[in-house]
Structure 1
Amino acid sequence: MKGFNKKEYTRRQFIKNTALTAAGLTIGPFIHIERAQAATSLMKRSMGRLNFEATTLGMGGQASLQWTPADVDPVKIILKAFASGINYYDTSNFYDDSQLHYGKAFRSLDLIPEKPGYNEKLRRSIFLTSKTCLRFGKGGWKNDVMYNLTNGSGTHAVSDIKRTLSQVFGDGKGAYPKGAYLDMVLMHAVTSIEDINALYAGYENTDQKAETIGTLATLIDLRDGTNLTGLNPDEERLIRHIGFSGHASPAVMMEMIHRDTRKVLEGMLVAINANDRNYFNMQYNIIPVAQANNMGIIAMKVFADGAMYEKPAVMTQGPHMVVRRVGGGKLPSRKLVEYSLTTPGIHTAIIGTGHIDNDPKACQLTQNLLSAQIAPDAYSITDRREVEKLALSVKEGKTNGFFQVEKQALSAPRDFSVVQESRDRKRVAKLTWQTAYAGDEPIIRYEIWRDNLKVGQVNHKSQVTRAPFIHEEILNDNSSHTYSLVTVDAAERTAKTEEILLAGI
């Protein structure tokens, strides 16, 4: 491997460096904070249009922050993350008491605006993301497919955002101080086209009189300090960036980006682990699209919510299911962290922490942070395939089935059409299509076939909008012709469209 050299960066040096970043911080039976500052020795990556350099490990808002075992203090986990120099923090309105735990930690760290000693410099040095799974800002509809959920009492997006601000920065009962803000809000768990239809309601033509307005238009008002929806009458600017999360279907997530004609979406949280290619994979489908749009891309499900180890491959349902040991044996946790972080396009990975420990070898947070000190290009394709073999040995690779769509083969180009035009007295055949979906290898090119002969090809690139791929050719006759398109991947496998007849003239 090239890039970061772990032989030169020893575990002892890592622990020493991170310990020095938080002089005066004690994590014990009583929490005492004199001074905390961001570490300068940890690797960071620039997160595209988010304009933030994130540490390669972020603090996940689940594990013991959501499903807290009786003998765990989740506030200490957050404080240790700060002491270690981590600067990206994740939570959600759907993570039980996770936001409240952040609130307690933030009060210890003087991160509450309008309070004496407010450390604005420290607040600006971190990136705090929360999520809403509510699909509407106003009105709405119901169906059996769409997610529309919260742990709060409200039914629309504004209530979720203000709930986060109150739980993290305020009294936890609805009030929050002036100057409190979230760096980003993600529309959570975008899983179906029905989710997208709801979220985008009113996006193109926002009208206060509309019966239904989706969450996206609502978040734009809260980001810009406007009141186009009528849902932000005080014109508060409560969030800085907007994004979405997804872990099921890359096709749905691609559609989420393609509909964003105004380039509002700046961040994406996506499931990516070493068993990704055993499912409808993210790394060759949605991640390159987000990367081409210069979005900040955050990895999740690095350990498949613990299913890479002893936990069954099901959603966590309580503290008894939280994995609290450092992964080792035939599948070292380090390899899994490195795999996700060397996936092209990934900027940081959020990983939930089940257990922290004074013994670095037993501390999940310390071990994951050490593993995250890796350059984006440190793994070759061979390195990645070796880790995939290790992951395949766990539950026969069936670790992601409870959150990710089953594996799909390479697809033919979608929405293929052929029309003819006359230009400057020349007959022109115009072929258009939407991107194909990759199987377990990346797409390389599209081949154009006319009358069963290959007559051209177009190199594949990530389709960043709904604007189709286009190929044109001049025809020097008046005869009819048949056209087809063939997708070709890196393994030279192919997927062909149905033939289309272009009538003669």
Structure 2
Amino acid sequence: MNGSRRGFVATSVGGGLAGLAATVAEAKPKEQQVDRRVLGRTGAEVSIYGLGLGSAFFKPFAGKPEEAHRMLERALDYGINYWDTARSYEGSEALIGPVLEKRRSEVFMVSKSNAKSYDDFMKELDASLKNLRTDHLDLYHMHNWQPKQGDTSPKAREGACKAALKAREQGMIKAFGVTGHSGPDILMECIKAYDPDALLSIFPANRPDNGRYEDELLPLARERNIGVIAMKTVKHVKNSDEPPRELVRYALSLPGICVAIVGTGDIDHLESNARMATNFKPLKGNELRNFSDKVAMGIPAGLPQPWDLPGYSDGIPA
């Protein structure tokens, strides 16, 4: 066989193998993508299941960044683009940074600051941007409003609010929000005073505070087209007998909830939640009320909220 013939055969075989590989790649089924909703006035389409990247994330992956990155990449395979962290979640931002840097356009990145003054808020925002290896955040929250910590009115963080508005104007953040789990009153005051783009608060199935989070706070946010994110859907009612996925499903069934964030620390957990959030089937009408009643009955009366217990850390958004 002459050289040209050998070259032809090699080329033909190589081309055939390449074509076969391409066909196999095309035939490989893609992961089903989780459902998405528009996050209020931000206009962003976000996955209804959001990654809570607090201590449920950074503690299991301490010293194992490759495993953490593998889970984050897996989340993107499912189209899970809502990623939630905070300055107070030690090491979380830095752990996320390498993956975010590579796949920035696929992620709606959220972080939070506890700062109250203008300067401190800007410093924390700069630190978040540096750790996350990005030039902007899609949403940055004024974090964890608690009257017992001196946040007795929106004026307690007036400087931070001015900084958030300035950062949004400059493009360092696309939107700003407020978060809290210590009663709906202060959050409703914040909405009226600051008109944030987003709100992160608790919507567990046992309807704490006589249902006022659902019946008063949520309608106010919807009226103003504020994007609402649910947290503590599992942690608040972990003593009930209901499966965690169903507890998350309850929150996502409430009209006006755009996303439910869940503390996620392993791929199996992630995939289970992704299945629930794909082709999502909400509870409707009496199903919501019946499920809530069942959850409330399964929790001992007078059980304190997790965040009222000594040593509580707000590192797990679930």
Same topology, TM > 0.5: yes
- Cα distance, 1:403 vs. partner? 3.5
**How far, CA to CA, are the matches of 1:355 and 1:100 in structure 2?**
18
Q: Which of 135, 140, 143 is equivalent to 2:116?
A: 135
Residue number among 381, 393, 397 corresponding to 2:285 in the alignment: 381
CA distance 1:294–1:388, shift in 2 (3 Å): same
User: Identity of aligned pairs, percent?
Assistant: 24
Give the alignment of 1:47-446 within 5 angstroms: 47-68=39-60, 73-107=67-101, 110-111=102-103, 123-138=104-119, 156-169=120-133, 180-192=135-147, 193-194=151-152, 196-200=154-158, 214-225=159-170, 237-260=171-194, 263=195, 265-277=196-208, 279=210, 281-304=212-235, 308-309=238-239, 330-356=241-267, 363-373=268-278, 378-396=282-300, 401-403=305-307
* TM-score, normalised via structure 1 length: 0.51
| 3-state SS of paired residue (1:189) | coil
Matching residue's letter, 1:55:
S
Report the structure, 1 or 2, having the larger helix content.
2
CA distance in 2, matches of 1:167, 1:397: 43
More strand by share: 1
Paired residues of 2:153 and 2:189 also in contact (CA < 8 A): no
Q: Identify the structure with bigger relative contact order (alpha carbons < 8 Å, sequence gap 6+).
A: 2
Contact in 2 for aligned 1:335/1:387 (Cα 8 Å): no
For the pair 1:20 / 2:30, whether they are aligned, the reply is yes
Counterpart residue identity of residue 379, structure 1: L
Aligned to 2:290, what secondary structure does the other structure show? Answer: helix
TM-score (norm 2): 0.79
Q: What SS is found at the alignment partner of 2:214? A: coil
How large is the RMSD of aligned CA atoms in angstroms?
Answer: 2.7
- Report how far residue 366 of structure 1 moved: 1.1
Larger CA Rg, structure 1 vs 2: 1
Mapped partners of 1:104, 1:399: distance in 2: 41
Task: For residue 20 of structure 1, report the CA deviation from its aligned partner.
Answer: 1.5
Question: Which runs of at least 4 in structure 1 moved beyond 3 Å after TM superposition?
Answer: 69-73, 277-281, 373-376, 397-400
CA distance in 1, matches of 2:299, 2:271: 27
Secondary structure of 2:79's match?
coil
1:233-282: CA deviation from partner (whole Å, max 9, x where unpaired): xxxx311111111111101110101113xx4x111111111122465631
- State the match for 1:43 in structure 2: 35
Q: Which amino acid aligns with 2:285?
A: I
Q: Which amino acid aligns with 2:221?
A: A
Structure 1 distance, partners of 2:161, 2:56, is: 30
Q: C-alpha displacement at 1:165, in angstroms?
A: 0.8
* 3-state secondary structure, aligned to 1:102: helix
The alpha carbon displacement at 1:399 in A equals 6.1
Alignment-derived partner of residue 36 in structure 1:
none
- Would you say the 8 A contact 1:333–1:368 is kept in 2? no
For 1:338 and 1:400, the matched residues in 2 are separated by 23
The 1-side partners of 2:55 and 2:299 are apart by 21
Gaps of 5+ in 2: 1-27, 309-318
Q: Could you tell me which amino acid in structure 2 is paired with residue 385 of structure 1? A: R
Aligned residue pairs total 277
